[in-house]
Structures are given as C-alpha cells and as structure tokens.
C-alpha cells in the first residue's frame, strides 16, 4: 500500500482508520475525511496558482472544483487500489460499497488527512500532488474550464447578439433502465441544425451543442 500511495506511514493505525467506513463502526474515517478535504483543496489550489500565473480567480475556482469533485477523486482512489483495502460494514460490503464513487472519494480524502497527521504539510503535499499532475496538465485553457458545451455556445451567440439555440426532443426510446434520447439543437443565425444522442435528455443536449461548436469551428 505504501508503494501505491507514495508514502510510508509511521503510525499504521492512521492508515487503517482512513480506510474504515463508518458502517464498520468506530474509529472510522469521517474526521480524517474532513481534514483531507481541506488539504486537497489547498494542495490543488496552490498547484493551479503556479500552473496558471495569469488566470483569474473564477478560472482557478472552476478548475479546482473540477479536480477535487467526487467523480475526479474516485478514479484516483481506484488507481491507488484503495477499494480493496477498505473496511466496510456487512451492508456496504454486500452492496458493493468498495466500488462506489462516494466511498472511494471519501477514503482518498481521509488518506490525505492521515498522511498530514502522520507527517507535515510539505510531506503530505509531496505525496499527494503527483496524483493530480496529469489532470492539471490536461486541463483546457483557463477560460474554458468548467464551462459545458451549452454554456459556451450560448455565450458565443450572446457575444455576437445572435438568437439563442433551441433544443428539442426528437425521439425517446428504450426500457426505463436503458433509455436513449435524441435531441436537436437549432440555430437561426448562423443557420445550423445538429443532433445528439445519449442516455438522458440533458446529456443529449450537451452533445448536440458540442457538435454545433465543432461545426462553427468555435474554440472560444
């Protein structure tokens, strides 16, 4: 485990607690998670501040939110193989809690908190920052971070005083557990019609907007 996370604990009990879900009883990892949440926000904020010396507060805030949200932390937890080391109560074990994004993300934050308590901030940062370096390097330009396709398309049209796009549901099919939605995105000026298909209407709208951006060759 030490090789996976890049840190060797002096107090093994801290790591054990960080990997103990509340369903397994006390001492569990919720207090460590609270501490780790603050630490990961600081570590990532500092890294972004250095990575983007000219980005404004809004762009930095959006980028940090992208990097520390549950859906971003859970894959890191999987890479570190934390799920296999989690201590869960019988109910969570039966329901596959070791695979759940929320539990994995919480465990990652708890491990960060445990590393800090077992060492110091500089050591914690040195262990944790490599987990995020690839994601930070892969970020789009600051002005595009956190803005989905519909927002970007709307802002582009508004900036040119053109009519906003109209989204319409073209079709809906499939069983309740496997729905498919086809949505159109219509622009009046410039005239354009695109469509997107996904498992939800909202996701289909995003795809249709993304296609429109590509057709218009808009790169913000």
Separation between Cα atoms, residue 77 and residue 60, nearest integer Å: 23
Q: Cα–Cα distance between 188 and 27 in angstroms, integer? A: 60
Q: Is 109 annotated as a binding residue?
A: yes
If we measure between CA atoms, which residue out of 161, 147, 162, 143 comes closest to residue 209? 147
**Active-site residue among 92, 109, 118, 205?**
109
Asked if residue 214 belongs to a known ligand binding site, the reply is: no
Beta bridge partners of 173: 180
> Are 113 and 27 within 8 A, CB to CB?
no
Helix (H, G, I), strand (E, B) or coil at 60: helix
Which one from 3, 16, 30, 37 is the annotated catalytic residue?
A: 37
> Residue 109 catalytic?
yes
Query: Annotated catalytic, 57?
Result: no
Q: What is the DSSP letter of 87?
A: B
Q: How many CA atoms lie within 13 A of 182 on its CB side?
A: 8
Q: How far apart are CA 200 and CA 163, in angstroms?
A: 25
Distance in angstroms (rounded) separating the CA atoms of residues 113 and 52 = 26
56 in a labelled binding site = no
Cβ atoms of 200 and 179 within 8 Å: the answer is yes
Residue 147: alpha-carbon gap to chain centroid: 14
The two tokens of residue 218 are: 């808009």
Indicate the annotated binding residues: 33, 106, 109
Give the active site residues: 37, 109
Indicate the annotated binding residues for Mg(2+): 33, 106, 109
């Amino acid at each position: 485990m030490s090789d996976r996370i890049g840190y060797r604990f002096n107090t093994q009990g801290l790591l054990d607690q960080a990997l103990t879900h509340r369903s397994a009883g006390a001492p569990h990892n919720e207090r460590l998670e609270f501490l780790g949440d603050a630490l990961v926000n600081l570590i990532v904020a500092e890294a972004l501040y250095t990575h983007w010396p000219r980005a404004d507060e809004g762009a930095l805030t959006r980028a940090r939110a992208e990097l520390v949200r549950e859906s971003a932390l859970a894959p890191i937890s999987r890479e570190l193989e934390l799920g296999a080391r989690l201590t869960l109560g019988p109910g969570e074990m039966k329901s596959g809690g070791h695979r759940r994004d929320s539990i994995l993300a919480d465990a990652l934050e708890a491990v960060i908190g445990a590393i800090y308590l077992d060492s110091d901030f500089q050591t914690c940062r040195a262990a944790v920052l490599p987990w995020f370096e690839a994601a930070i390097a892969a970020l789009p330009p600051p002005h595009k971070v956190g803005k989905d396709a519909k927002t970007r398309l709307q802002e582009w049209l508004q900036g040119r005083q053109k009519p906003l796009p109209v989204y319409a549901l073209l079709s809906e099919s499939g069983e309740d557990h496997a729905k498919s939605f086809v949505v159109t995105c219509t622009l009046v000026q410039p005239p354009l019609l695109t469509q997107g298909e996904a498992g939800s209407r909202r996701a289909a709208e995003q795809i249709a907007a993304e296609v429109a951006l590509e057709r218009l060759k808009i790169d913000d």
